Amino acid sequence: MKNKQLYKIKANKSLGQNFITSSDITDKIVSYSKNINNYSIIEIGAGLGILTESILKNNPKKLISIEKDHRFTDIYAKLARNYHGKYEFKIADALDINFTTLAKPPVKIIANLPYNISTAILLKLLNNISYFSSLTLMFQKEVANRILAQPNSKSYGTLSVLVQLLCNVEKMEDLTPEMFHPLPKVHSSILYITPLLTPKIQTDYHKVANVVNATFNYRRKMIHKSLKNITNNVESILKLANINRTLRPENISIEQFCKIANLL
């Protein structure tokens, strides 16, 4: 079902807007989140409200939508009247919001993320990932592939390590550009992300993030060179961790990154 409003509001490229054109797609996105009846839901980048309505139809405990573009205020205000007490919205930049203050657990996040901030939003969510029961998120396919990537591949990087350290990740579906308006130049993917009850490896997440960022910022350098940006004890750390000093970041497993972090 095409939404006539799509052609009345011009997408703002600076906000990374590409609107989903079919409620059939948004209904599927909500279904990938599994049962939401007893959960508060946070939606990031609500746009024209098509996904918003699909969420509300599935009777969540509460839905809070965040949207930076004030042009959609009337759409959300109407939904708030129709779903009195179940729905609220905030016209704000999601990067400035502390999501843990919006609703009490259990909380799920469902979002067609704006392309230009999707990575930043995901990294922000990881800082408090245990607060959320699940994340059902739309990404550019290239970004989704980076999240899912394994060592020794070109896509493997910071997102791969940090997300997989804390979460299970499953690709639910790929979407073609024809599912959006305006047509993006890229394909998209829906990921279902569930936080692990305990991390795969006991470590300090922020230390691991520091190591990963320091090394992947220079991904063509050998590990013994890129680590010099954060420690003066590179050789002893790599020896204790039993890691070949000539490997590059893309060859280092999550477990090995954690070993390095634990030795700092």
Q: Which residues are annotated as a binding site?
A: 18, 20, 45, 67, 93, 112
Q: In the chain, where are the structural domains located?
A: 4-195, 205-263
Instruction: Identify the pLDDT of residue 241.
Output: 97
Instruction: Identify the pLDDT of residue 5.
Output: 52
Instruction: Identify the pLDDT of residue 7.
Output: 45
10-residue mean pLDDT profile of the chain (264 residues): values are 53 74 94 97 96 98 97 95 96 97 98 95 97 98 98 98 98 95 89 93 95 96 96 97 98 98 96
Q: What is the CA radius of gyration of the chain?
A: 20
Q: Which residues are annotated as a binding site for S-adenosyl-L-methionine?
A: 18, 20, 45, 67, 93, 112
The vertex-115 CA angle with 5 and 91, nearest 5°, equals 60
Instruction: Identify the pLDDT of residue 11.
Output: 67
Q: Are 208 and 161 in contact (CB under 8 A)?
A: yes
CATH number among 3.40.50.720, 3.40.50.1000, 3.40.50.150, 3.90.1650.10, domain 4-195 = 3.40.50.150
Instruction: Identify the pLDDT of residue 200.
Output: 81
Beta strands, E only, 40-81: 40-44, 62-67
The fold of 205-263 is Helicase, Ruva Protein; domain 3 (1.10.8)
Residue with tokens 């992947």: 216
Neighbours of 183 (CB within 10 A): 12
Q: 4-195 and 205-263: same fold?
A: no
